Amino acid sequence: MNALDGHLHLRAVRASDGSTALSAQSFRAPFHLSKPNWDPEAEVLHVQVVNPTAGILEGDRLESSISVDVGAALLVTTPSATRLFRMTEGGRATGHQHFEVATGAMLEVFPEPIVPHRGSTYFQETTIDSAEGSTLLFIDQLMPGRLAHGEAWSWDRLVLSLTVRRAGQLILRERFDQTGASLRSLAEFSGTGAGSCFANIVLLPPADDAAPAWRSEVASLHRDGVWVGISRLRTIGWSIRIVSPDPVRLRDTLANLRETLRLSYPRLGCGLRRP
């Protein structure tokens, strides 16, 4: 099968009636866009990005850019996990994604987990540019592999790079670079078990708050075998990390997290499922 050179370009704007609409969109396989859905209660446009192929294969190159203009609000989800299939020795797939959020705008990016299959290698680079007065919630999830097929922690290499800027100023730069075997050792050390799942969350509020109302409630999610850590970022924003013993408890913890954050940031109340 030939490698895919896919792209996804979206621009969300505030319409004259106060709703959010897509003023520009372009995509090529393996990206496909379902019909956007406006949530009038949360005042958010929900866009679902679909991969109609089996998953990501060796040589695939994925590039996406999403911008949200002043006053607009956008939620981007995926209906299913991103599966990384087996690759030959030295082979890899790559992904580059850029998110830009203007003043007074809101962007939530909440895809389903990355699931690396045995022998896969994937490099993903994410860049976020957030203007002053904007709101951003970015969630990345990782499962250890196909548990039912005995492929947990069997990928060759996974590299997830993240750069976050606020008003042009760097506030976070991190790089996750692990083999499946090395991450298995970390999961065993933490005591979360062979089926451990991970989530990396970045929250950028419209204004700085050193003691947000949601913090103690989110910290209380650290229970029943789930590890939750909260760190304040440089100048503004928060990094939240979750380690869960299994996919079900990770999903439940993220649902509780969103519900808690919604009380402080109502636009995060847009439903993840299509009506």
Check pLDDT > 60 for residue 148.
yes
pLDDT digits (tens, 9 = 90+) for 195-233: 889 999 999 999 998 899 999 999 999 998 899 999 999
β-strand partners of 274: none
Report CA-CA distances (Å) from 189 to 59, 156, 196.
34, 20, 11
Check pLDDT > 80 for residue 268.
yes
Report CA-CA distances (Å) from 47 to 32, 38, 76, 114, 119.
11, 9, 5, 19, 32
Percent of the chain exceeding pLDDT 90 equals 79
Sign of CA dihedral 77, 254, 182, 85: negative
Residue 187 — very low, low, confident or very high, per pLDDT cuts 50/70/90?
low
d(CA 208, CA 10): 28
Check residue 262 and give its pLDDT. 96
Check residue 192 and give its pLDDT. 63
Amino acid at 216: S
Check residue 189 and give its pLDDT. 58
